[in-house]
Amino acid sequence: MDINKIRNDFPVLRDNPNLAYLDNSAMALKPDMVINAVNDYYSRLGVNVHRGVYRLSYEATDLYEEARTTVASFINARFEEVVFTRGASASLNLVASSYGMNFVNEGDEVITTELEHHSSHMPWFNVCNVKKAKLKYVPLDKEGRITVEAFKSVLTNKTKVVAITYVSNVMGYITPIKEIIKLAHEVGAVVIVDGAQAVPHMKVDVKELDCDFLAFSGHKMCGPTGIGVLYGKLDLLEKMPPIEFGGDMADTVRKDSQTYKASPYKFETGTPIIASAIGLSAACKYIDSIGFDNIIKYEKKLRDEAIKGLKEIEGIKIYNENAETGIISFNIDGVHPHDAASVFDNNDVCIRAGHHCAQLITTWLNTIGTVRASFYFYNKEEDVKKFVEAVKNAKDFFYGF
């Protein structure tokens, strides 16, 4: 990988050459290829899709549906199995509101974990309250990991749904998802995978995993904001009712009856997220051009260097030293994570601080929050050095009082 060439693709990095951007788990930066794709739609077309009987609308429709084809290929899904949403949170809520509210019944069991982002946990907490089902949690091991054995301990014949993260946004651990899916299917349960932190960093093949649903966001994988994807097995999507009603999803509308279009359109009410879908398609192509093998290897190298640097500083608690991905969660002893984050900003280092919309795991860690650094393929070794130096500066600043 030519890191300098890659970094030159990103306007934010060109305009801020001294910036160490390490908040990639929250938002990835956008390359020219993505920005240009969005701008091209708005400047050259800028019209609605599907029903316009004129050339500009035909072309916009082709670009929009080609985007669905590209995204489907990116995760090895069928065209009809890719639903565009506002983001991973919207995708996960769609499944809970449609599948959960219609196919989970009183006495059923739903399994989740304390590693979940709120968007993977809260919708099913709500479903279980409304439907009088039981919500169960996979016990985490001493490192805070999900293990197959622990999953087996809560799996029963009453399990109907498993809502689980592929990669924790706080701990950076990779869940043994394929084995868990196989076990869940043996008791007839469906598995909803939160792939928001996985899809941008590793090859995810929904057919190989055999997951029933997968959710992810465009903005974490160099795509635009406001676009996400829900993958669902077609037979499940076909039997799920829509949760929003109106334009474009309707087939026939009468005073006494209504019918809906087939998947994915019955879940995409109103004017679609046209420009952002086109931008997401460009992001998929850009990531493919770099290659996941390169991305995984390079991110691990940066993370290993950062962990080594942190371990040389006294008073630093690292919560996930052995994580497999580019996420590092830590705290400076005696310093509130939000206070630490302000010092990082003064050093041109962008990190995240708080509970990261995952309060269950921060509670499990017995802390109010963590400082989180997260790497992506456009980061450089100088970013690691700046990050470690910023940790030292933050510690010195607060310990000096």
Identify the band that residue 387 occupies on the pLDDT scale cut at 50, 70 and 90: very high
User: Which residue carries 């899916």 as its tokens?
Assistant: 181
User: Which residue carries 């996985």 as its tokens?
Assistant: 198
Question: Can you give the pLDDT at residue 299?
Answer: 97
357: annotated active-site residue: yes
User: Which residue carries 């429709």 as its tokens?
Assistant: 61
The CATH label, of 3.90.1150.10, 3.30.70.240, 3.40.50.300, 3.40.50.2300, for the domain at 3-24+291-399 is 3.90.1150.10
Mean pLDDT of 128-139: 98
Q: What are the structure tokens assigned to 5, written together?
A: 């060439």
Question: Can you give the pLDDT at residue 401?
Answer: 53
Q: Exposed e or buried b for every residue in 313-345, given b needs 16+ CB within 10 A?
A: eeebebbbeebbbbbbbbbbeebbbeebbebbe
For 228-283, the pLDDT digits (tens) are: 999 999 999 999 999 999 999 999 999 999 999 999 999 999 999 999 999 999 99
- The span from the CA of 7 to the CA of 377, in Å, is 9
Global confidence as pTM: 0.97
Where does 96-147 have alpha helices with state H? Answer: 101-103, 118-131
**% of residues, the chain, pLDDT over 90:** 97
pLDDT at 290 over 60: yes
Q: Where are the domains of the chain?
A: 3-24+291-399, 46-288
Is 300 in a helix, a strand, or coil? helix
Question: Can you give the pLDDT at residue 153?
Answer: 98
Nearest to 334 by CA among 363, 314, 358, 310: 314
- The span from the CA of 115 to the CA of 51, in Å, is 43
Mean pLDDT of 296-302: 97
Nearest to 166 by CA among 220, 107, 240, 96: 220
Question: Can you give the pLDDT at residue 321?
Answer: 97
Nearest 5°: the CA angle 143, 296, 169 is 45
For 10-20, the pLDDT digits (tens) are: 999 999 999 99
- The span from the CA of 267 to the CA of 230, in Å, is 10
For 332-372, the pLDDT digits (tens) are: 999 999 999 989 999 999 999 999 999 999 999 999 999 99
Question: Can you give the pLDDT at residue 52?
Answer: 84
Is 246 in a helix, a strand, or coil? coil
Nearest 5°: the CA angle 141, 122, 200 is 70
Mean pLDDT of 287-305: 97
- The span from the CA of 372 to the CA of 122, in Å, is 22
Could you give the angle at which helices 337-346 and 381-399 cross, rounded to 10 degrees? 120
Question: Can you give the pLDDT at residue 1?
Answer: 85
Average pLDDT, the chain: 97
pLDDT at 400 over 90: no
Q: Where are the beta strands (DSSP E) in 233-350?
A: 250-253, 258-260, 316-318, 327-332, 349-350
Which secondary structure element, helix H or strand E, spans residue 58, and what is its range?
A: helix 55-75
pLDDT at 89 over 60: yes
Question: Can you give the pLDDT at residue 309?
Answer: 98
**Please, is 26 exposed, middle or buried when counting C-beta atoms within 10 Å of its C-beta (0-12, 13-18, 19+)?**
middle
Nearest 5°: the CA angle 13, 17, 22 is 60
Catalytic residue among 222, 284, 350, 357: 357
Q: Exposed e or buried b for every residue in 27-40, given b needs 16+ CB within 10 A?
A: ebbbbeebbebbeb
CATH code, residues 46-288 = 3.40.640.10
Question: Can you give the pLDDT at residue 51?
Answer: 82
For 158-196, the pLDDT digits (tens) are: 999 999 999 999 999 999 999 999 999 999 999 999 999
Amino acid in position 183: L
229: which strand partners?
84, 216
For 35-85, the pLDDT digits (tens) are: 999 999 999 999 999 988 899 999 999 999 999 999 999 999 999 999 999
User: Which residue carries 């802390």 as its tokens?
Assistant: 367
